[in-house]
Amino acid sequence: MKKRFGIIAMVIAFALIVAACSSDSGEDTTTTTEAMEETTTVLDLAVEAGQFSTLVAAVEAAGLGDTLSGEGPFTVLAPTDQAFEDAFEALGIEAADLLADTETLTKILTYHVIAQEADSQLVATLDGQSVETVNGQSVDISVDAGQIMINDATVVSADLEADNGIVHVINAVLLPPDVAEMLGVSMGDTTTTMPMETTTTMAPEPTIADIVAESPDHTILLAAVQTAGLVDALADPDAELTLFAPTDDAFAAALEALGITAEELLASEDLASILLYHVVPGIFMAADVIDAAPIMDLGTLNEEATLDIEVVDGAVVINGSATVTAPDLTASNGVVHVIDAVLLPGS
């Protein structure tokens, strides 16, 4: 089994805008405007993702919207729409049936929330332990070949950050033991996750190329990959690769520092070597780096240059300058780690 922590996409999150009051004086108004903050809650993330309509509807039906838009911090284990569809089919019920039973619905939803912020690095250290949920009942954490399991559900996308917590996307709906017993769900020693045979209907996992193409924050990287003719390499189903993916903001900062335009970068004869410097042969999850702390030296597809990777204050840092801001976006042919700076060979 490939080493993975779980993360492609599927998200959960929630919405809140914190407004500041304005004053009659120009000076006060300026101060107030600067003080205004737009926050993104876990509920906002779910709404904006567009893949959690059932979860959002359930939260609204249970009257938990204000709670999940509150201060937190929360860790939300977020089943996708597909996970809910699989659950309804396995239970032989319609979505409307569950949404109408607010008592049971609330028990299920609060079983997916932990009243503290726990990123994937912390969760990975809890292998073999149980963690209490807001429901009052606990979920079991396990790590199998680097892949995080919550009961029998797999974390398929981790560390989606909001201002009031963090979201981990899972591929199955978790059922509290008392609800599972009431509904007659039994899985031997485990009665807290919907039967997993239904996950065979899930959409196939995207490739690394798909993740880059579908990301709104990697348009420059996508253009560069296309220009350099590397799409097929990142889409190769037999490849096992790790991509460190700079965001558009990272490219903008690099272009400014280099004094060139995006068009000049795309026309550069060094483009391919720069991109290959961001790709490592093999699959290296966040846990692999943490376990190898304080430092790793990784070879890249740019055979003339390697990456120095270390853990600094809990964050994965590459070459002392680029920080991993979103780890473990898993693909069918490897993993993507989002970084906040462009890596340049020889720098």
- The pLDDT confidence band at residue 185, using thresholds 50, 70 and 90, is low
**Where does residue 101 fall: left (phi above 0), alpha (psi -120 to 50 degrees), or beta otherwise?**
beta
Helix, strand and coil percent figures for the chain, each rounded to 5: 35, 25, 40
**Tell me, what amino acid is at 105?**
L
What does the block give as tokens for 332?
A: 């069918």
In the predicted structure, residue 110 carries a pLDDT above the cut 90? yes
- The pLDDT confidence band at residue 255, using thresholds 50, 70 and 90, is very high
Q: Rounded to whole angstroms, how far apart are CA atoms 245 and 214?
A: 13
**What's the confidence (pLDDT) of residue 108?**
94
Residue 226 burial (CB count, 10 A): 14
Residues 203, 207, 209, 211, CA torsion sign:
positive
Region 137-153: what's the mean pLDDT? 87
188 Cβ contact partners less than 8 Å away, ≥ 6 residues apart: none
- The pLDDT confidence band at residue 310, using thresholds 50, 70 and 90, is confident
Q: State pLDDT tens for residues 193-239.
A: 444 333 333 345 789 999 999 888 899 999 999 999 999 999 999 99
Helix (H) or strand (E) holding 121: helix 120-124
Region 144-158: what's the mean pLDDT? 83
- What backbone torsions phi and psi does residue 229 show, to the nearest 5 degrees? 70, 35
Region 108-131: what's the mean pLDDT? 90
- What backbone torsions phi and psi does residue 253 show, to the nearest 5 degrees? -65, -40
Indicate the SS3 state at residue 234.
Answer: helix
Could you give all domains of the chain from N- to C-terminal order, each with its CATH number?
A: 13-201 (2.30.180.10), 208-339 (2.30.180.10)
What does the block give as tokens for 54?
A: 């059932």
Residue pair 139/332 in contact by the 8 Å Cβ criterion: no
Q: Rounded to whole angstroms, how far apart are CA atoms 156 and 148?
A: 8
Q: State pLDDT tens for residues 257-268.
A: 999 999 999 999
Of 239, 331, 320, whose CA–CA distance to 285 is shortest?
331
**What's the confidence (pLDDT) of residue 159?**
83
Helix (H) or strand (E) holding 98: helix 95-100
**What's the confidence (pLDDT) of residue 188?**
36
Residue pair 23/64 in contact by the 8 Å Cβ criterion: no
- The pLDDT confidence band at residue 91, using thresholds 50, 70 and 90, is confident
**What's the confidence (pLDDT) of residue 12?**
28
> DSSP per residue over 62-83, as a string?
TT-HHHHTSS--EEEEEE-HHH
Tally of residues, the chain: 347
In angstroms, the Cα distances linking 237 to 22, 207, 234, 264 are 55, 7, 8, 31
Indicate the SS3 state at residue 119.
Answer: coil
